[in-house]
Amino acid sequence: MSALEPRDAEADTDTAGDVAGRPGPRAVADDTKGSVLDPAHRALSIGIVSVVLLIAFEATAVGTAMPVAARELNGVSLYAFAFSAYFTTSLFAMVLAGQWSDRRGPLAPLTAGISAFAAGLLLSGTAGAMWLFILGRAVQGLGGGLVIVALYVIVGRAYAEHLRPAIMAAFAASWVVPSVVGPLAAGTVTEHLGWRWVFVGIPVLVVFPLALALPAIRRTASGPADPAVPVAPWDRRRIRLALGLSAGAALLQYGGQELRWLSLLPAVAGVALLVPTARGLLPRGTWRAARGLPSVILLRGIAAGAFIAAESFVPLMLVTQRGLSPTLAGLSLALGGLTWALGSWIQARPWTEPYRERLVVLGMVLVALAIAVAPSVLITAVPVWVVAAAWGVGCLGMGAVISSTSVLLMKLSAPAEVGANSAALQISDGLSNVLLLAAGGAAFAALGGGAVGHAVGSHASTGSHPAAFAAVFLPMAGVAAVGAWVATRLHAEGRPGISENR
């Protein structure tokens, strides 16, 4: 990634026309009026939000069907790899999508990504063996990594700066219904039609958003960011680093499966690969929270990693320590989908723009408080609804933080670097997830947390291991608190909105 030079405000609203006389990808950036649903943006907005909606349904539905699929395919021992395969390949695809989008525009990687995502679903849904199922999940990860970065580039090119918070809020809102309805719908389909239909049914729904969005993407966001500038060659070094990052993540996840001495070997090898590759793929200054873009990317990882690592243990804690059924434990998090969308909606209001940094700091404080309060239900005198209330507050903060980091990234990126910087943002998100989940899982198992798994089948607590859960939640609350400090460094000193050189 080349260094970002200080730019005037007008640099973000330059227009360019291509040799065919079509408006360049930045042409709509001069529009200071309108909305994401005006005639110029309606088809594009509905199309790309529909893509996010389908991805959200898949993400929430697959988790429900996965246990049944693993049992039927005699692959329970490989259960974790069905998740890690998706994550590992998506890391590589994010870097590929960033370069592809910056060189040729986001249309091709988006189309290829959706096609790969659908192909992976079909492969998993028709698999006769667990290894084929895992291969399908890996293909899905390639598609998902391509799609998420391409969508960010489309937003950066096709929407004026004042419209970007609104479209990011729409992305967040599109997760609300799937987070509430997805598990219930997937459970019903799995019970009455079979788990395979959860996978093979989704690709058919992809046709509508593609048909709606592709013409608008071709018109407003196709081609390189500046057609007058020669297309840069592929950065083969970054591709190699991306492969190393994916391999390191896979080794770390494999090594973290069991607490055995032999597991240390792949785990150490994974860390040895992750450290240099992550340093090469993230902007210079990310690890020391340099002001501007590096802090934006670091904050995204801190927020996502701490929150997801803690959230993963909430249902297990409620089932095993307080005797709730899995359904009720899952419903305790349902409020979070609504408050997440509310937080994203708040950051999209025009009056919040001058206070965006303060809003992000407040959001991280709310996240830290929510994670710290959640394990209070380990005390039997504390009612279980406290978790639902705390998680609703935490999701409110996350909605503001995640959407704001996306908006700030586009604001701090040169037009030709939106793809590469969006890939870095997603890498920070995904890499932090695996690192903090691995750390939390290891601490949980080391303090006897593995024994609580026997309580899940009976929906009752058969053994109390509060220290194991506290070892997950309290450190993650501390990580989120560090994120509140990083949030004070999102703007370069003396030059709001401009990142320091990298």
Q: What HEC string does 317-349 produce?
A: HHHHHHCCCHHHHHHCCHHHHHHHHHHHHHHCC
pLDDT confidence of residue 294: 93
Asked if residue 390 has pLDDT above 90, the reply is yes
Asked if residue 473 has pLDDT above 90, the reply is yes
What's the CA gap between 398 and 365, in Å, rounded? 10
pLDDT confidence of residue 453: 47
Residues 66-121 have pLDDT tens digits of: 767 777 888 765 665 676 678 788 888 988 888 888 887 888 898 899 889 989 99
Asked if residue 301 has pLDDT above 80, the reply is yes
Burial class of residue 402 in the structure, from the number of CB atoms within 10 Å of its CB (0-12 exposed, 13-18 middle, 19+ buried): buried
Banded pLDDT at 183 (limits 50, 70, 90): low
User: What's the Rg (C-alpha) of the chain?
Assistant: 22
pLDDT confidence of residue 21: 34
pLDDT confidence of residue 204: 75
The one-letter amino acid code at 426 reads Q
> What torsion do the CA atoms of 281, 214, 16, 356 make, to the nearest 10 degrees?
-60
Asked if residue 2 has pLDDT above 60, the reply is no
Where is 126: in which H helix or E strand?
Answer: none
User: Quick one: average pLDDT of 299-326?
Assistant: 83
User: Quick one: average pLDDT of 351-377?
Assistant: 93
Asked if residue 302 has pLDDT above 90, the reply is yes
Residues 323-342 have pLDDT tens digits of: 776 566 666 776 777 888 89
pLDDT > 70 fraction of the chain, expressed in percent and rounded: 79
Ramachandran class of 497: left when φ > 0, alpha when ψ lies in -120 to 50, beta otherwise: left
Asked if residue 140 has pLDDT above 70, the reply is yes
Asked if residue 395 has pLDDT above 70, the reply is yes
pLDDT confidence of residue 290: 92
- Tell me what the pLDDT averaged over the chain comes to: 78
Classify 492 as helix, strand or coil.
strand
In order of 17, 35, 260, the CA distances from 178 in angstroms are: 39, 25, 38
Asked if residue 1 has pLDDT above 50, the reply is no
pLDDT confidence of residue 237: 85
Banded pLDDT at 466 (limits 50, 70, 90): confident
Residues 12-29 have pLDDT tens digits of: 333 333 333 333 444 444
pLDDT confidence of residue 300: 94
Banded pLDDT at 195 (limits 50, 70, 90): confident
Flag the least confident range among 277-291, 369-383, 410-424: 410-424
Residues 257-268 have pLDDT tens digits of: 665 677 778 888
Contact between residue 1 and residue 424 where contact means Cβ atoms under 8 Å apart: yes
Asked if residue 59 has pLDDT above 50, the reply is yes
Contact between residue 343 and residue 396 where contact means Cβ atoms under 8 Å apart: yes
Residues 93-108 have pLDDT tens digits of: 988 888 888 887 888 8
pLDDT confidence of residue 411: 86
In order of 380, 404, 412, 427, the CA distances from 360 in angstroms are: 34, 7, 16, 20
What's the CA gap between 135 and 112, in Å, rounded? 17
Contact between residue 285 and residue 265 where contact means Cβ atoms under 8 Å apart: no
Banded pLDDT at 122 (limits 50, 70, 90): very high
Banded pLDDT at 230 (limits 50, 70, 90): low
pLDDT confidence of residue 254: 72
Burial class of residue 16 in the structure, from the number of CB atoms within 10 Å of its CB (0-12 exposed, 13-18 middle, 19+ buried): middle
pLDDT confidence of residue 451: 57
CA triple 298-304-307, angle to 5 deg:
130
> Can you list the pairs that 376-383 forms with residues at least 24 positions away whose Cβ atoms lie under 8 Å?
377/317, 377/318, 377/321, 377/322, 378/317, 378/321, 378/466, 378/469, 378/470, 380/322
Which one, of 139, 87, 91, 122, lies nearest residue 206 by Cα? 122
pLDDT confidence of residue 76: 61
Which one, of 224, 281, 218, 220, lies nearest residue 249 by Cα? 281
- Give Cα 54 distance to the centre of its chain: 15
Banded pLDDT at 298 (limits 50, 70, 90): very high
